[in-house]
Chain A
Amino acid sequence: GAGVSQSPRYKVAKRGQDVALRCDPISGHVSLFWYQQALGQGPEFLTYFQNEAQLDKSGLPSDRFFAERPEGSVSTLKIQRTQQEDSAVYLCASSLWLPAQYFGPGTRLLVL
């Protein structure tokens, strides 16, 4: 594809609701990253995949957060029982070779 795409671009959830955020990386990119960006701050690492293997999930803030990439392409970040502090922009990035990463436009999540 032309670039990394993410959907939905905006999501409003009621507290306690489950949400699923999708990332379509650039075709052929082996590595995929998820970041969380709070307002006025830089992106914070959540998790990293190489193909379908989740190599690092040290940044996931709680066990309510779960990410998968079952076929080594599209990835889904799931947040269960959303809380207000989960409100942020969720960024996905992919790369073919390290260290350059290509970012998607992000999903802006608002939990009410």
Chain B
Amino acid sequence: GNSVTQMEGPVTLSEEAFLTINCTYTATGYPSLFWYVQYPGEGLQLLLKATKADDKGSNKGFEATYRKETTSFHLEKGSVQVSDSAVYFCALKANAGKSTFGDGTTLTVKP
């Protein structure tokens, strides 16, 4: 079956540091890939997506590139802010229905 494995947390960084959260997947076919973010006390929000190999999703300074050869979709940001503190979920959708999520990575950014 489909699965998503993401970097275990928690991750603690200083403001303006570089962020990488690793995500790898196993899926049949050609899935779409997503990063969702959950800020404290709020629901899941779509952060970015990529629907085919070599696509780069980007939003709010975050980027992730769909790498079919390594089955990866790592999340990066060049300079994190305190307001980026949240839980980040990697997910895939391989058909018209359900999404499969990783277990989430908690990011804390300290001033």
Question: What is the interface of chain A, defined by CB distance below 8 A to chain B?
Answer: 4, 33, 35, 40-45, 48, 55-56, 58-59, 91, 93, 98-106
Contact = CB atoms under 8 A, between A and B. Distances in A.
Nearest to B98: A45
B15 interface: no
Contact of A105 (B36, B43, B93, B100): B43
Contacts, number: 57
B97 A101 contact: no
Contacts of B100: 45
Contacts of A98: 93, 96
Interface residues of B, number: 23
Interface of B: 4, 32, 34, 36, 42-46, 49, 51, 89, 91, 93, 96-104
Contacts of B42: 105
- The majority secondary structure among interface residues of chain B is strand
9 contacts: A33-B99, A42-B91, A42-B102, A42-B103, A43-B44, A56-B98, A98-B96, A99-B51, A104-B43
A56 B32 CA distance: 19
Contacts of A45: 97-100
- The majority secondary structure among interface residues of chain A is loop
B43 A101 contact: no
A42 B98 contact: no
Nearest to B101: A42
| CB-based closest 3 A-B pairs | A42-B101, A45-B98, A103-B44
A41 to B, nearest CB: 5
Contacts of A35: 101
Contacts of A4: 43
